[in-house]
Amino acid sequence: MSAEQCQASRDTLPDSRDGLTHADRIVLYVLRYTQQECQNRNVPTAMLYGRVLEHVQMSETELYQALNRLGVQGNVR
């Protein structure tokens, strides 16, 4: 298995403890950190997407799917 395949499987396979993938965990971490910066106001999805990309490679569609799967409420477009 190549390094790229290993990374891809780490980002997409759910953890047996809580069912979150590495990418889901990154989205939650970045969302919480950005909410704190915005003084607990809503975080624009574009801002969140840009910050998530600093940690993990994903498309906009994948981000929206992750947010919906995680139950994030708000104006996700």
Whether 8 is in a domain gets the answer yes
Does the structure show a pLDDT above 60 at 77? no
Domain that holds residue 4: 1-32
User: Residues 28-56: pLDDT tens digits?
Assistant: 999 999 999 988 888 999 999 999 999 99
Percent pLDDT > 70 in the chain is 78
Structure-block tokens of residue 5: 């395949």
b/e for 9-44, b at 16 or more Cβ within 10 A?
eebeeeeeeeebbbbbbbbeebbeebeeeeeeeebe
Q: Average of pLDDT values for 15-28?
A: 84
Q: Dihedral through CA 11, CA 15, CA 20, CA 22, nearest 10?
A: -30
Structure-block tokens of residue 77: 């477009």
Domain count for the chain:
1
Whether 43 is in a domain gets the answer no
Whether 13 is in a domain gets the answer yes
What does pLDDT average to over the chain? 84
